[in-house]
Amino acid sequence: MLLLLSVSVISAQDSQKAKNPVGKWKFEAPYAPEGYTSGTIDLAFAEDKYSSTISFTGSDYKIPGERIKVEKENVSFVVMIEGSEVVISLIAENDKKMTGKAVYSEGEIPLTLTRDIPNN
């Protein structure tokens, strides 16, 4: 019985760890306007709160996210791009992939994120 309980606890911890969104993610948004189709999203956790930034390929400028929420495998935040509010909603599928959408005044754009694992 104790062995079964231990395995259940370890499995639960592994699945929770597998969906930790903190890290650097590469994103693809092939249906976004030109210049906004790819880049990186950085999600961090410090001082008991989450933070986010987004940057686009070809630019070093990082746009800070606001109103970030992380609940289980769901992540959402808002960024201001060219004066428009863009709501990013993501679902962590596993420790290496998230999918979601960016919603703005002209519609909804699907997003695919893959964890950016640095080479050691």
Q: What is the mean pLDDT of the chain?
A: 86
Nearest to 114 by CA among 100, 92, 97, 101: 97
- The predicted-structure confidence for 87-103, as pLDDT tens digits, reads as follows 999 999 998 999 999 99
For 11-22, b/e burial (b = at least 16 CB within 10 A) is eeeeeeeebebe
For the whole prediction, is pTM greater than 0.85? no
CATH H-level, domain 25-115: superfamily: Quinohemoprotein amine dehydrogenase alpha subunit, domain 2 (2.40.128.120)
Question: What pLDDT is recorded for position 118?
Answer: 62
Answer whether residue 36 shows pLDDT above 60. Answer: yes
Query: Which residue reads 């289980």 in tokens?
Result: 72
Question: What pLDDT is recorded for position 55?
Answer: 96
